Structure 1
Amino acid sequence: MINLVIMAKCLSSFCVVNHVVKGEFLQGVIAMPARRTLEREKIDSLEKLSNYSEEEIMQFHGFGKNTMMKLKNYMKEQQVSFKNN
């Protein structure tokens, strides 16, 4: 039983370290799952994000109606928009 507790603590530390988003892009705007997905896709600026359509971004993990609404509002404030289909 003690071995399981020790192993669980080690694994949780390992997982946390491996899933940290490196940059601050969209920090405080959208949730971590969506930010991690953008990082995996090498989307780290509004300029790169604007090369995608809203439909393409909605296909990514972590992007639903709420996240998209937050992202669109933020992009509008920054005078940036998604590409048109």
Structure 2
Amino acid sequence: MSENSGTPLPAISGPAERALAAIGVTTLEQASEHSEKELLALHGFGPKGIKILRESFATHGLAFRED
């Protein structure tokens, strides 16, 4: 089920993980293709998810897409 073509997502809440999966996001690299605003608009994804992704992005040299 996991893809080897990217960095796995960090541990986030179940609803946030399902929200990302619903738009096809399963890796950090895929998450970085979206803006904070886009992700916050997803049902089940909130500010805590943004914080967790932001911290993980910093570790891997990634960032959210700019609006």
Tell me the TM-score normalised to structure 1 length: 0.63
**5+ long unaligned stretches in structure 2:** none
Structure 2 SS opposite 1:44 = coil
If each structure's helix is expressed as a fraction of its own residues, which one has the higher value? 1
Larger Rg over CA atoms: 1
When the two chains are superposed, the root-mean-square deviation of aligned CA atoms in Å is 1.8
Give the distance between the partners of 2:2 and 2:14, measured in 1 at CA: 12
The residue that corresponds to 2:24 in the other structure is: 42
- Give the number of aligned pairs: 63
Q: How many percent of aligned residue pairs carry the same amino acid? A: 30
Equivalent-residue separation in structure 2 for 1:65 and 1:43 (angstroms): 17
Q: Distance in 2 between matches of 1:55 and 1:64?
A: 10
- The aligned amino acid for 2:61 is Q
> Structure 1: 5+ residue runs without aligned partners?
1-21
Q: Hey, what does 1:79 align to over in structure 2? A: 61
Structure 1 runs of 4+ aligned residues shifted over 4 Å read none
